[in-house]
Structure 1
């Protein structure tokens, strides 16, 4: 009978007579393989604003906690908790220590921490060693440098930019908002969407952040059309919630295979003991992501199930020719 994902099971709801957790080739002489697969992590480049205005409180005054004191522990908490689900990297802007607003010394240069798997402790250590002592806010240049770097990564991992800032771009000194929006627009066109997390203390800053969030193609969803389009960070708890939402959205349902299946039409995919049927439309089920058949992508209810039960529950069977999988 059909199971939750369209598979055919026996009368007890199990996927036929097959055990997805059985030893590879057990009872078989044709090279049948049963194995677990691990999810491909998303790559996230954190582009962190370290301008001196981050030392103000969320109202733009000298109160406490400062925006920096809100942002840093929240970022570090979420980066730690998503160490296995995301590959993190770090770019900070502006450069230098009181180098002068929009000066050559302040413009963003190299990536501070390159993106890598299991990189949370390295990124968090670099954030801890960073001080909010920069002059000006060259947001557009920071995004352009981020895109230059992301283009050098020779893999097919999904890649995102997470921009954490407190509002108005200020460099170049004329049309800085438009320059930053164009940079984020260009990033999206290159395949790198931008999530915007911000603490805005004035109407102009809200407008700037909204423009960046919309241009990045990952605006915050809210039924209220007047609600901010960027993710909110007015308190640590609010920021943690925003960041958890973002990392949940970029969690992938991509599962690399160690080798292409010998018989592509005889492959079974299971979440626990539930069979997932192949769906070449990418609507609800599983399919290969390309002609090399080296990565499987889950979609629809199957992807949602993985998000709930965990990627460790996904199993794949490479069956033999004419071998019933389900």
Structure 2
């Protein structure tokens, strides 16, 4: 199942601060004329001050210790919210070597003909669950390897919601005519761009390339690995999709995949750590796996809870316990307590049970849920 294609509705039942056992007084029963309980217009009720409305009843019975906030019933409010989408910046290698077949020869299909249809298929399928953007590298056509003209510059398509059609049209208009493979510089530019996006959506880089970086010429592999390492250090993990048959290219892609902190899982220690793209079907499978992993169980809340310790999270009728370790349960993602994340079996259960399966209940300040 493609997790990224699922959008879950969460019913958040938020209780207002301060529970009281009594019913809320009907505001329509209060006098709108400014009369006191004695019927004398303009009288001031002791303890309220000039211009305050009479709360009703006999002034002598008024309890000055009552806090207005605590006299309000815990009226529950329902919020329908959607799971927080992931933002994915596709960094696509358009070097001329993408015109070769997967073995590096002039056969068919070319690496470009494998990569492009697969990318477009998955981008279209995940349009509602992921916000896509596009960066291509190198720049220009036949500008010479590692020249200033080929240096990766602007983001071709900025990340946006429901952006699949725009991104796919840009990919269709792109040709593999660039010289050199400045992978490190492309990742650095991607990070510069992602840091300008002012929201807390999870952000990832999806690097699609056919092997060895070639710029700068002296230490291109190390330079690219360092760029991916730096990206991960500031919160942007990199998934690596590659087409490579030569040992040197496999080694380079493995290094990038491990540095990006999102290597492909395989029980075989000798298996490639990057996602394979030798055929279109294989690449589609790899991309669906990636988008499934990116589609985390993040649920934004409309407001922070009155008491962060009095929050209940349920998947169906089963309660999910709070787990600050992020192993198996739920936890807040930040100090603002505006987003919760499910982990472990709870997240897996949500993915399998579908929309409407998650409920979050805000308890009052003195109202534990469990």
TM-score (norm 2): 0.77
Any idea what the Cα deviations from partners look like across 1:217-246, whole Å, max 9, x if unmatched? 211111111111111000001001111111
Taking a change above 3 Å as real, the CA distance of residues 267 and 200 of structure 1, as seen in their structure-2 partners, is same
- Structure 2 counterpart of 1:216: 260
Deviant stretches of 4+, over 6 Å: 20-25
Structure exhibiting the larger radius of gyration computed from Cα positions: 2
- Output the CA distance in 2 between the equivalents of 1:133 and 1:71: 15
For the 8 Å contact 1:272–1:313, the answer to whether it is kept is yes
Match of 2:19 in 1: none
Q: How many residues align?
A: 306
Change (3 A) 1:23 1:320: closer
Matched, 1:32 2:102: no
**Secondary structure class of the residue paired with 1:89:** strand
Residues 24 and 32, structure 1, Cα contact 8 Å, conserved in 2: yes
**Residue 133 of structure 1, aligned match among 177, 184, 190:** 177
CA contact under 8 A between 1:233 and 1:242: conserved in structure 2?
A: yes
Work out the CA distance in 1 between the residues paired with 2:343 and 2:304: 20
Name whichever of 282-291 and 99-108 sits farther off: 282-291
Structure 2 vs 1, CA of residues 311 and 100 (structure 1 numbering), >3 Å: closer, same or farther?
Answer: farther
C-alpha contact (below 8 Å) 2:298/2:341 kept by paired residues: yes
Is the 1:35–1:317 contact (alpha carbons within 8 Å) kept by the matching residues of 2?
no
Give the structure 1 partner of residue 350 of structure 2: 306
User: What is the aligned partner in structure 2 of residue 11 from structure 1?
Assistant: none
Matched, 1:121 2:165: yes
- Structure 1 unaligned blocks of 5 or more: 1-19
Query: Shift in Å at residue 167 of structure 1?
Result: 0.6
Instruction: State how far apart, in whole Å, the 2-side matches of 1:98 and 1:298 are.
Output: 49
Whether the 8 Å CA contact 2:14–2:363 is kept in 1: the answer is no
1: CA distance between counterparts of 2:327 and 2:14?
30
- 1:191 CA drift (Å): 1.7
32-41 or 214-223: bigger deviation: 32-41
- Structure 2 CA distance for partners of 1:292 and 1:23, relative to 1, 3 Å: closer
Say if 1:36 and 1:317 are closer, same or farther in 2 by CA, change over 3 A. Answer: farther
Distance 2:330 2:350 in 1: 12
Shift in alpha-carbon separation, 1:144–1:321, aligned structure 2, 3 A: closer
Q: Secondary structure at the match of 2:132?
A: strand
User: Following TM superposition, by how much is the alpha carbon of 1:312 offset from its aligned partner in structure 2, in angstroms?
Assistant: 4.3
Task: Please report how far the alpha carbon of residue 38 of structure 1 lies from its aligned counterpart in structure 2 after TM superposition.
Answer: 1.5
> d(CA) in 2 for partners of 1:116 and 1:307?
24
Q: Where does residue 206 of structure 2 map in the other structure? A: 162
The farther-off stretch of 140-149 and 179-188 is 179-188
For residues 124 and 133 of structure 1, the distance between their equivalents in structure 2, rounded to whole angstroms, comes to: 18
Q: Contact 1:94/1:137 (CA < 8 Å) preserved in 2?
A: yes
Whole-angstrom distance in 2 between the partners of 1:263 and 1:183 = 42
CA distance in 1, matches of 2:82, 2:113: 35
2:210 paired with 1:148:
no
Cα 1:298–1:51 shift into 2, 3 Å: same
TM-score, normalised relative to structure 1? 0.87
Structure 2 spans left out of the alignment, 5+ residues: 1-9, 16-22, 25-72
Give the Å deviation of 1:144.
Answer: 0.8
Identify which of 242, 267, 284 aligns with 1:240: 284
Counterpart CA distance in 1 for 2:227 and 2:164 is 27
Judged with a 3 Å threshold, the aligned counterparts in structure 2 of structure 1 residues 72 and 318 are, in CA distance, closer, same or farther, namely same
Alignment of 1:91-110 (within 5 A): 91-110=135-154
Alignment counterpart, residue 258 of structure 1, candidates 291, 296, 302: 302
1:55 shift after superposition: 1.0
Choose from 241, 252, 255 the match for 1:197: 241
Secondary structure at 1:248's aligned position in 2?
Answer: helix
2:319 matched residue in structure 1: 275
Question: Over aligned residues, Cα RMSD in angstroms?
Answer: 2.2
Q: Secondary structure at the match of 2:361?
A: strand
SS of 1:37's partner is: strand
Question: Residues 57 and 312 of structure 1: is their aligned pair in 2 closer, same or farther, counting only changes over 3 Å?
Answer: farther
